[in-house]
Amino acid sequence: MPDVTDINGLVGRTPVVRLDRIEPDGQRVELYGKLEWANPGGSIKDRIALAMVLAAEKEGRIAPGRTTIVEATSGNTGIGLAFVAAARGYELVITLPQGMTRERETLLRLFGARVEVVESLGGMTEAVEAARQLASGDDVWMPDQFVNPANPAAHRRTTGPELLEQLDQRIDVLVAGIGTGGTITGVGRALKAVDEKTLVVGVEPASSAVLSGEPAGPHRIQGIGAGFVPPVLDRRVVDEVIPVTDDDAIEAAWSTARRCGVLGGLSSGAALHAALQVAAREESRGKRIAVILPDGGERYAAVPFFQPR
Amino acid sequence: MLSITAKSPYAVQALTELGRAGGTTTPVPVAELARRRDIPGQFLEQLFATLRRAGLLRSQRGVHGGYLLTRDPREITILEIVEMLDGPLGQDSVGIFADVAEAAREVLASTSVQDLIDREAREQGQTMYWI
C-alpha cells in the first residue's frame, strides 16, 4: 500500500528530464529540466504553500478548524495554498484585484477557497492591503511568501537535495527564475553546499529588470519579476541575473514543447531561454546545467498571447 | 450598416493615449501618439482632423503644440468616437442584426475613454503580480 494519507504527501519528488534536443550543437552540454508541474497543484508553489503552513503549525500560530489563512496572490501560490488548506482543514481567503481572469478564480473556488475581489486602481497593492487588514483580525494568518523564511527553506530542504540526487551530486550550473527569490535562494544554497563552484543564474523579465538595476514595468512572464527586490532573495547566492523578453520566453516554451515534448509555462520558457544562452557560451563546454521549470504550459493554454503562431 | 472600419480602433487607441498623457491640459503631437501606439502617422492625422472638426479635439500650434481633448476623458464615450468616424452604428440593420447593433451600441455608449485608460493601468499592474 502506498504510504500517503493525504494529497500533501505527494508534494515534491518531481521528475528530471534531459532536454538533449534543444542543447546547442558541439557544446557537449547536458541540459536537464526539473518538471515542477508534476506537483499535485500543478506548480513549484505547492512546495512553499505546504512548507509555510507546516512551519506555522509547528510554531503553534495556526491550527486547522481555528485559523483562517489569507493571502493576496493571483498566481500559483494561491492554488498551492488552496489544496493544502483543503486537505488540512483550513479556511482560505484569497484577495484579488478586480479584472483578474475568472479562470484562476474558478480554480481557487473549486478547492473551496473564498475569493475576495478588491476594488483596485491597478495592480495588487489594494489586494495586499485588504489581505493585511483581514490578517490583523483574530485567528487569521497571512503566509506572506515574499518574506516568509519557510519559502527558501523548503527549497533548501527538498528541491535542491532532490536535484543533487537525481543528477549524481554534480551540477555545474543552476538556472532558475526569480519571483519571490525563494527557489533560487534555497536551491542555490543546497547546491553550493556541495560544490561552491556551482554557477547560480537567476532569470528576470527584461521589461522589469529590477535586479539588473532597471525600473519596474509591465511584463507577461507570470511567476517572476515582482517589480521590487523581494526580502526572501539572498543575492549572495546568485552569481548572475539574465533578463529575458516576453517573446523570447514564449518562443523557448514553444520550441521546447515541439522539439522535446516538454510543455512548460511562461516562466519555464524564460528559464529555458536563459539556460540556452548560458549553454552556448565557450566556458560552458561539457557542463551539466539544471533548469527549474516552475509550471506547465497547460495552465496558459487559454491565454491569447500564448497561442501558437 | 453594422460596420466599424480600422479608423475607430486606431482613433480609440490614440485618444486613450492622449487622455492618459495629455488630456485637456497638455498638448501632445499627433506624430508622438502615432509612434507610441504604433499607428500610421498620416492616417492618424486624417482621423484627428475629422475629430477636430467634430469638436472632440482642438489643436495648439507652436513648439509645444499638439492636440488636446476638449472634454474630460470620463465624458467621452467610445460610441461617440466610432460614430464620428464610421457613421451611425447599425442604422439600417433589421431583425437579429438590429438587436446585435443595439447591443454593440450599448457597450460602446457605456464605456468612456477614461474606462479604457483605467483598464490599461489595471492590466499592466496585474501582469506584474502573478506570483
Residue B126: band (very low, low, confident or very high) from pLDDT cuts 50, 70, 90:
very low
Averaged over A13-19, what is the pLDDT? 98
Averaged over A29-50, what is the pLDDT? 97
The predicted pLDDT at position A31 comes to 98
One domain, residues A160 and A19: yes
Q: Which amino acid, one-letter code, is at B39?
A: I
- Which of A117, A141, A165 is the last residue in one of the domains? A141
Contact A121 B119 (CB under 8 A): no
User: Nearest-CA distance from A26 to chain B in Å?
Assistant: 37
- The answer to whether residues B84 and B50 touch, using CB atoms and an 8 Å cutoff, is yes
One domain, residues A129 and A197: no
Average pLDDT, chain B: 89
Contact A97 B125 (CB under 8 A): yes
In terms of DSSP bridges, do strands A91-97 and A68-72 run parallel, antiparallel, or are they unpaired? parallel
Q: Which amino acid, one-letter code, is at A27?
A: Q
- Catalytically annotated residue among A34, A45, A192, A287: A45
One domain, residues A103 and A85: yes
Which residues span the domain enclosing A107? 45-141
Write out the three cell numbers for A198.
556551482
A205 occurs within a structural domain:
yes
| Domains within chain B, CATH numbers bracketed | 7-127 (1.10.10.10)
Contact B130 A74 (CB under 8 A): yes
The predicted pLDDT at position B127 comes to 46
A1 occurs within a structural domain:
no
One domain, residues A68 and A17: no
Least confident stretch, A86-90, A136-140, B36-40, B97-101: A136-140
- Which of A110, A141, A172 is the last residue in one of the domains? A141
- The answer to whether residues A273 and A244 touch, using CB atoms and an 8 Å cutoff, is yes
- Closest-CA residue of B relative to A128 is B129
One domain, residues A197 and A289: yes
- Please tell me the distance from the alpha carbon of residue A61 to that of residue A67, in angstroms, as a whole number: 9
A136 occurs within a structural domain:
yes
- Please tell me the distance from the alpha carbon of residue B110 to that of residue B70, in angstroms, as a whole number: 19
- Read off φ and ψ for residue B4, nearest 5 degrees: -120, 115
- The answer to whether residues A108 and A78 touch, using CB atoms and an 8 Å cutoff, is yes
User: Nearest-CA distance from B65 to chain A in Å?
Assistant: 29
- Which of A125, A141, A157 is the last residue in one of the domains? A141
- Please tell me the distance from the alpha carbon of residue A52 to that of residue A47, in angstroms, as a whole number: 9
One domain, residues A71 and A205: no
In terms of DSSP bridges, do strands A114-118 and A140-141 run parallel, antiparallel, or are they unpaired? unpaired
Residue A49: band (very low, low, confident or very high) from pLDDT cuts 50, 70, 90:
very high
For the segment A62-91, what is each residue's pLDDT rounded down to a tens digit? 999 899 999 988 789 999 999 999 999 999
One domain, residues A27 and A49: no
pLDDT at B26 over 70: yes
* Residues whose CB is less than 8 angstroms from the CB of residue A14 and which lie 6 or more positions away in sequence, other chains included: A34, A35, A36, A37, A38, A39, A162
Pick from B48, B130, B91: nearest CA to A177: B130
For the segment A90-148, what is each residue's pLDDT rounded down to a tens digit? 999 998 766 555 667 888 999 999 998 776 544 566 777 788 777 777 789 999 999 99
What pTM does this model have? 0.73
A2 occurs within a structural domain:
no
- Catalytically annotated residue among A120, A267, A268, A284: A267
One domain, residues A194 and A78: no
- Read off φ and ψ for residue A295, nearest 5 degrees: -150, 175
For the segment A239-283, what is each residue's pLDDT rounded down to a tens digit? 999 999 999 999 999 999 999 999 999 999 999 999 999 999 999
Per CB-CB distance under 8 Å, the chain B contacts of A125 are 125
Contact A124 B125 (CB under 8 A): yes
Write out the three cell numbers for A183.
527557489
Domain count, chain A: 2
H or E element at residue A166? helix A160-166
- Please tell me the distance from the alpha carbon of residue A75 to that of residue A141, in angstroms, as a whole number: 19
Q: How many CA atoms lie within 13 A of B89 on its CB side?
A: 22
CATH of residue A74? 3.40.50.1100
In the residue annotation, A136 being an active-site residue is answered as: no
- The answer to whether residues A160 and A276 touch, using CB atoms and an 8 Å cutoff, is no
- The answer to whether residues A12 and A35 touch, using CB atoms and an 8 Å cutoff, is no
Where do runs of H (alpha helix) occur along chain A?
45-58, 76-88, 102-110, 125-135, 150-154, 160-166, 182-194, 246-260, 266-279
Q: What secondary structure, in 3-state letters, does A118-154 show? A: ECCCCCCHHHHHHHHHHHCCCCEECCCCCCCCHHHHH
In the residue annotation, A255 being an active-site residue is answered as: no
* Residues whose CB is less than 8 angstroms from the CB of residue A136 and which lie 6 or more positions away in sequence, other chains included: none
From B118, B119, B125, residue closest to A123, measured CB to CB: B125
Contact A123 B130 (CB under 8 A): no
Contact A225 B125 (CB under 8 A): no
One domain, residues A84 and A29: no
Quickly tell me which residue has 469638436 as its cell.
Answer: B55
One domain, residues A200 and A292: yes
User: Nearest-CA distance from A207 to chain B in Å?
Assistant: 10
One domain, residues A221 and A280: yes
Residue A2: band (very low, low, confident or very high) from pLDDT cuts 50, 70, 90:
low
Residue ranges of chain A whose CB lies within 8 Å of a chain B CB: 73-77, 97-100, 120-125, 145, 179-180, 208, 216, 218-220, 222-227
* Ordered DSSP codes for B49-118: HHHHHTTSEEEE-STT-EEEESS-GGG-BHHHHHHHHH-STTTT--THHHHHHHHHHHHHHT-BHHHHHH
User: Nearest-CA distance from B130 to chain A in Å?
Assistant: 4
- The answer to whether residues A22 and A272 touch, using CB atoms and an 8 Å cutoff, is yes
Contact B128 A219 (CB under 8 A): yes
One domain, residues A154 and A32: yes
